[in-house]
């Protein structure tokens, strides 16, 4: 009976986990931008100087404003209630300087904890007016960001690699411009790495030539998709020429120099090997440039390659190799292992 009961519990929790994954779970992913139908029409730039000129032009046309900046953890805020009477200033300070907590909150006199993460100064002022209206007649409140702490890293083949503070909304082009543009050693790609709460690691691969060509298409939908907005904590990497990139269900995702001729399986071995617990072997893809505005997708059945029934393709410079995660395997790895472990522990604690 106990065995049947445990089996029923496992099956029930599996069903719940499957529903949860289908509705809101997200498997870590890699996106290659632009896709084949996202093709800017401007002429191709060929040298680092021309690319940097295009990047500078696009950055100069940016309409981002510090007023659009989204408040985040560790920012220092100065909050002033202008109509606090002088005799009440000791009880409720007229000006308060606060550091935003890692949870994205501040604690203010009278109103207590206030979540501020993701707000602009204008939206926070409106929220505080609402909260203080219970205590102060027609409160007049101003919010100033005294110290910016939201940062994005730019590394690789750029003139001034480093960590840059965000003082307003920025795009990939803006960040490359802040880093002084690319060097002569730059390859044809820009990689953006992002850690998203509850979604895990995300990677974006952008064609540098197409990104530069998007400079004259600032209001174009496709250009906006290529020149994507950056988020706090993003890492932007411009690999040197003669590199290939591997991502997905592998041991060590990242960029690698193409120092010799690599086959696909050799490239995957260089990246730490395929993770057999997560990889979808039948849906591996190689993304390869076939021109300044065209990216070819080459599907590969890795199981067939490993069994010898399909050729092991050669990897070329600037190739992006993606080993996708199998949703079924991801479900087993993330949920079923936990469930079985939980049932085992329950059996040890409550079993007879």
d(CA 205, CA 287): 10
d(CA 320, CA 245): 5
- pLDDT higher than 60, residue 6: no
pLDDT at 39: 41
| Among the four given CATH numbers 3.10.560.10, 1.10.357.10, 1.10.730.10, 3.20.20.70, the one describing domain 28-68+150-241 | 3.10.560.10
Write out the two tokens for 187: 């390859």
pLDDT at 347: 42
User: What's the order of all strands across the beta sheet hosting 95-99?
Assistant: 95-99, 76-81, 141-147
Pairing of strands 284-291, 294-300: antiparallel
User: Which of the two residues, 119 and 39, has the higher pLDDT score?
Assistant: 119
d(CA 34, CA 284): 19
What CATH topology corresponds to 70-147? wza like fold (3.30.1950)
Query: What single string gives the DSSP state of each residue in 45-100?
Result: P-SHHHHHHHHHHHHHT----GGGPPP-TT-EEEEEETT--GGGTTTS-SEEEEEP
pLDDT at 37: 44
User: Which of the two residues, 2 and 251, has the higher pLDDT score?
Assistant: 251
Q: Where in the chain is the domain with CATH 3.30.1950.10?
A: 70-147
pLDDT at 164: 93
Per-residue pLDDT reduced to its tens digit, 239-291: 988 899 999 999 999 889 887 789 999 999 999 999 998 899 999 999 988 87
Count CB neighbours of 9 within 10 A.
Answer: 14
pTM of the model: 0.63
- pLDDT higher than 90, residue 34: no
Count CB neighbours of 27 within 10 A.
Answer: 19
């Amino acid at each position: 009976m106990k065995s049947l009961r445990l089996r029923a519990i496992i099956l029930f929790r599996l069903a719940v986990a499957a529903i949860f994954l289908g509705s809101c779970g997200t498997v870590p992913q890699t996106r290659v931008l632009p896709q084949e139908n996202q093709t800017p029409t401007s002429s191709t730039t060929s040298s680092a100087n021309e690319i940097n000129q295009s990047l500078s032009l696009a950055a100069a046309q940016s309409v981002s404003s510090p007023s659009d900046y989204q408040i985040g953890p560790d920012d220092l805020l100065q909050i002033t209630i202008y109509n606090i009477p002088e005799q009440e200033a000791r009880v409720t300070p007229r000006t308060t300087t606060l550091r935003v907590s890692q949870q994205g909150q501040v604690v203010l006199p009278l109103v207590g904890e206030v979540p501020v993460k993701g707000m602009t100064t204008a939206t926070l002022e409106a929220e505080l007016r609402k909260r203080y209206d219970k205590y102060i007649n027609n409160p007049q409140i101003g919010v100033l960001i005294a110290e910016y702490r939201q940062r994005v890293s730019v590394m690789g083949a750029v003139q001034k690699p480093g960590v840059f503070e965000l003082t307003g909304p920025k795009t990939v082009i803006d960040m490359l411009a802040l880093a002084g543009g690319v060097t002569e050693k730059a390859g044809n790609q820009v990689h953006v790495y992002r850690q998203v709460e509850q979604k895990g690691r995300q990677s974006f691969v952008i064609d540098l030539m197409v990104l530069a060509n998007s400079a004259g298409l600032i209001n174009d939908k496709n250009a906006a998709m290529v020149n994507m907005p950056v988020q706090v904590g993003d890492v932007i990497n411009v690999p040197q020429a003669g590199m290939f990139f591997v991502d997905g269900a592998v041991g060590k995702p990242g960029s690698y120099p193409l120092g010799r001729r690599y086959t696909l399986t050799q490239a995957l071995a260089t990246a730490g090997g395929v993770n057999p617990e997560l990889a979808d072997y039948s849906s591996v893809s190689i993304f390869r440039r076939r021109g300044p505005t065209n990216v070819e997708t080459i599907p590969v059945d890795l199981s067939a390659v490993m069994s010898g029934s399909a050729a092991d393709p050669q990897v070329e410079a600037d190739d992006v190799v993606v080993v996708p995660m199998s949703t079924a395997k991801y479900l087993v790895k993330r949920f079923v292992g936990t469930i079985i472990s939980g049932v085992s522990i329950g059996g040890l604690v409550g079993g007879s």
